[in-house]
C-alpha cells in the first residue's frame, strides 16, 4: 500500500558549515595581525564525505598568503608540544603547502581566500593554517574525523512496495554490504555501502539502550536514519532524500514505535520504514510489519546467508 503525500510547500535543503575563531580576522581593517578564519564544508559526489572535507581559508586584510598542513591529531599534538606554537608555525610553513589564492574571491571579499579539499583522511585529524604577512604569522586550526569501515555481511536491499525507488530506478533493489564504523567514538554507526548508487551509502545509528530479546533467543535494536541523499532524482524536482519517520515527524517516540521505528536484528536483517522527499516536499513514507494484518511496505535488508 503506497502512501503518497501532496507536495504543498517549498523548502530548500541546505548544508551548513562551521567556522573557527569567529571574531578574529572577520572585520577587515580592525586587526593588527594576520589572521585566517577556517570554514569546513561537507563535500558532495564525486568526493567521499566520510573521508574528505572541504576547507575555505579566509584571511583578514593583513594576510598576504596562507600555508596549510593536515596531520593525525596525535602527530599534531606531539609536534606542537615539542616545538611550541612559534616553532609549529615554522613547521607548517616548511612541511605544508602554500595556498593558491582564489583571485575572484579575493576581489569580491577584499581578502586572501584559499579553497582546498583534503581527501582520504582516516581517524582524528587536525588541519592547521598559518596566516603570513610582513608583520607576523598566526596559527588557526580545525579538526576532521575520517571514518573507517569494516564489513559485517553481504546482502540485498529490497525496495519495499511503498517505496518510490523501485518505480524510479526500475530495480527490485540493490546488492550491498552492511558495514560497521570502527572509528573510536562512532561505534554506534553503520551503513549499507553504495545502496543508493555509487558513493551514496545509507547510514544509520544504533540506539544501544533499545536492545530487546527476540523469541528465538536473538536480539534486536532500533536505529535512527538522519536525512541523507540518494543518487536518484524525481523528475524536475531534483534529488530524492530519505530519513526515518521520527525525524520527519519531529517526534522521537516514533523511533521505537512498532511499525514506524527502524529495526536491526543481530543476524543482520533490517527493516527501514522511511520518509522519501525532495526539496519541494514529500513523495511517500513506508511502514514495517507490526505482526497484525498489515505486512508493511518498507525497504528490507536481508543478508545473503539468511
**Domain limits, the chain:** 17-146, 149-303
Residues near 292 by beta carbon (within 8 Å), at least 6 away in sequence: none
Fold for 17-146, please state it: 2.20.130
- Give just the sign of the alpha carbon dihedral 72, 207, 300, 212: positive
**In tens digits, what is the pLDDT along the chain, a chain of 306 residues?**
333 332 322 233 233 344 444 444 444 445 689 999 999 999 988 899 999 999 999 999 889 999 999 999 999 999 999 999 999 999 999 999 998 877 665 655 557 889 999 999 999 999 999 999 998 999 999 999 999 999 999 999 999 999 999 999 999 999 999 999 999 999 999 999 999 999 999 999 999 999 999 988 899 999 999 999 999 999 999 999 999 999 999 999 999 999 999 999 999 999 999 999 999 999 999 999 887 677 799 999 999 998
**Cα–Cα dist 162/284, whole Å:** 7
Chain centre distance of CA 234: 22
**Cα–Cα dist 72/136, whole Å:** 26
SS3 for the chain is: CCCECCCCCCCCCCCCEEECCCCCCCCCCCCCCCCEEEEEECCCCCCCCCCCEEEEEEECCCCCEEEEEEEEHHHHHHHHHHHHHHHHHHHHHHHCEECCECHHHHHHHCCCEEEEEECCCCEEEEEEEEEEECCEEEEEEEEEEECCEEEEEEEEEECCCCCCHHHHHCCCEEEEEEEEECCCCCCCEEEECCECECCCCEEEEECHHHCEECCCCCEEEEEECCCEEEEEECHHHCEEEEEEHHHHHCCHHHHHCCCCCEEEECCCCEEECEEEEECCEEEEECCCCCCCCCCCCCEEEEECCC
- Closest by Cα among 235, 247, 293 to 272: 247
Ramachandran region of residue 163, left (φ > 0), alpha (ψ -120 to 50) or beta?
beta
CB 5 within 8 A of CB 285: yes
Phi, psi (deg, nearest 5) at residue 84:
75, 170
Predicted pLDDT at 7: 31
Predicted pLDDT at 109: 58
CB 155 within 8 A of CB 176: yes
Amino acid at each position: 500500500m503506497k502512501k503518497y503525500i501532496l507536495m504543498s510547500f517549498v523548502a530548500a535543503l541546505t548544508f551548513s558549515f562551521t567556522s573557527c575563531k569567529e571574531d578574529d580576522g572577520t572585520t577587515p581593517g580592525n586587526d593588527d595581525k594576520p589572521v585566517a578564519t577556517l570554514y569546513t564544508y561537507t563535500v558532495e559526489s564525486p568526493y567521499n564525505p566520510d573521508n574528505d572535507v572541504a576547507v575555505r581559508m579566509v584571511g583578514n586584510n593583513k594576510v598576504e598568503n596562507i600555508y596549510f598542513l593536515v596531520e593525525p591529531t596525535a602527530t599534531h599534538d606531539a609536534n606542537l608540544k615539542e616545538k611550541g606554537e612559534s616553532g609549529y608555525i615554522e613547521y607548517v610553513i616548511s612541511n605544508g603547502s602554500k595556498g593558491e589564492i582564489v583571485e575572484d574571491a579575493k576581489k569580491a571579499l577584499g581578502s586572501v581566500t584559499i579553497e582546498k579539499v583534503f581527501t582520504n583522511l582516516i581517524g582524528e585529524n587536525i588541519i592547521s593554517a598559518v596566516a603570513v604577512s610582513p608583520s607576523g604569522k598566526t596559527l588557526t586550526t580545525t579538526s576532521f574525523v575520517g571514518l573507517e569501515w569494516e564489513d559485517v555481511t553481504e546482502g540485498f536491499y529490497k525496495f519495499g512496495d511503498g517505496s518510490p525507488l523501485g518505480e524510479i530506478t526500475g530495480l527490485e533493489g540493490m546488492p550491498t554490504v552492511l558495514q560497521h564504523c570502527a572509528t573510536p567514538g562512532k561505534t554506534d554507526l553503520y551503513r549499507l555501502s553504495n545502496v543508493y548508487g555509487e558513493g551514496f551509502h545509507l547510514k544509520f545509528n544504533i540506539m544501544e539502550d533499545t536492545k530487546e530479546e527476540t523469541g528465538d533467543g536473538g536480539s534486536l535494536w532500533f536505529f535512527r536514519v538522519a536525512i541523507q541523499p540518494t543518487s536518484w532524482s524525481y523528475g524536475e524536482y531534483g534529488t530524492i532524500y530519505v530519513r526515518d519517520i521520527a525525524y520527519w515527524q519531529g517526534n522521537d517516540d516514533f523511533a521505537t514505535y512498532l511499525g514506524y521505528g527502524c529495526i536491526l536484528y543481530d543476524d543482520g536483517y533490517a527493516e527501514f520504514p522511511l520518509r522519501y522527499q525532495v526539496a519541494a516536499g514529500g513523495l511517500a513514507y513506508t511502514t514495517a510489519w507490526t505482526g497484525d494484518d498489515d505486512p508493511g511496505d518498507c525497504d528490507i535488508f536481508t543478508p545473503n546467508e539468511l
